[in-house]
Amino acid sequence: DVKVTQSSRYLVKRTGEKVFLECVQDMDHENMFWYRQDPGLGLRLIYFSYDVKMKEKGDIPEGYSVSREKKERFSLILESASTNQTSMYLCASSPPTQAGGYTFGSGTRLTVV
Amino acid sequence: LAKTTQPISMDSYEGQEVNITCSHNNIATNDYITWYQQFPSQGPRFIIQGYKTKVTNEVASLFIPADRKSSTLSLPRVSLSDTAVYYCLVGGFETGGFKTIFGAGTRLFVKA
């Protein structure tokens, strides 16, 4: 079964910490995405990447950065975690021609205290 | 950027057909319409995708009128396990980047 795997289901971090969220896909997909999901706000796109070492800002990139050194891995980095970054983070991947046809991971629920 | 609007919630009974409509008045020429299902503490799961007219797969149908300003997800004969949140996504690759808008989701509750 094809998969998008997020390294942690739950994380608790302190304000100011640097946080890494890892995502790996085994489908050889070119496109990878990071979303955050908050009650009442739905899913919002943080960053996406359509190729190794390529990245593009989504709708809410402030306070985040990403890294894609290998095709199968896309990392989300919170440079200095803040309480307003407490959220569910979802990674997704898709082939290049299937706009919106994502496969999502199970999510990482991050709490910043 | 196409904003999407969905009903916040819907109730149904087992065995009924459920239709959930998403409005996307400003949909762009290159945009596709995709629907997802999400259960608590899980990532959204792809249900169906379309560009125009009607698309059907083993779990759902998607109806898109000619003007593409709305779309309707149809779930035939729902069961209790279809209780979930359903999201409409409009978007695709455009000049300048990848544009997507998820709807706020429709919480479907199926009763016995």
For A13, counting Cβ atoms within 10 Å of its Cβ (0-12 exposed, 13-18 middle, 19+ buried), the class is middle
Radius of gyration of chain A (CA): 13
Cβ distance A52 to A71 under 8 Å? Answer: yes
Query: A101: helix, coil or strand?
Result: coil
Would residue B73 count as lying in a domain?
yes
Would residue B101 count as lying in a domain?
yes
Quick one: closest CA in B to A43, which residue?
A: B102
What range defines the domain where residue B99 resides? 9-111
- As a 3-state breakdown, chain B gives helix, strand, coil percent values, each rounded to 5, of 5, 55, 40
The percentage of residues in chain B with a pLDDT greater than 90, rounded to a whole number, is 72
CA angle A65, B90, B100 (to 5 degrees): 15
Would residue B2 count as lying in a domain?
no
Tell me, what CATH number does A42's domain have? 2.60.40.10
Q: Provide the pLDDT for residue B17.
A: 97
Quick one: closest CA in B to A40, which residue?
A: B104
Tell me, what CATH number does B74's domain have? 2.60.40.10
Best of A2, A43, A60, A74 to mutate (most B CBs within 10 Å, chain B): A43
How many domains does one find in chain A?
A: 1
CA distance B12 to B10: 7
Would residue B31 count as lying in a domain?
yes
What range defines the domain where residue A100 resides? 4-112
How many domains does one find in chain B?
A: 1
**A62, amino acid identity:** E
Q: Residue for token digits 């050889």?
A: A28
Would residue B54 count as lying in a domain?
yes
Would residue B48 count as lying in a domain?
yes
Would residue B85 count as lying in a domain?
yes
Would residue B4 count as lying in a domain?
no
Banded pLDDT at A1 (limits 50, 70, 90): low
pLDDT digit string, tens, across residues A32-67: 999 999 988 888 999 999 889 889 998 899 999 999
Banded pLDDT at B1 (limits 50, 70, 90): low
pLDDT digit string, tens, across residues A54-105: 899 988 999 999 999 999 999 999 999 999 999 999 999 988 766 667 899 9
Which residues 66-105 of chain A have a CB within 8 Å of chain B?
A: 90, 92, 98-105
Q: Provide the pLDDT for residue B28.
A: 86
The percentage of residues in chain B with a pLDDT greater than 70, rounded to a whole number, is 91
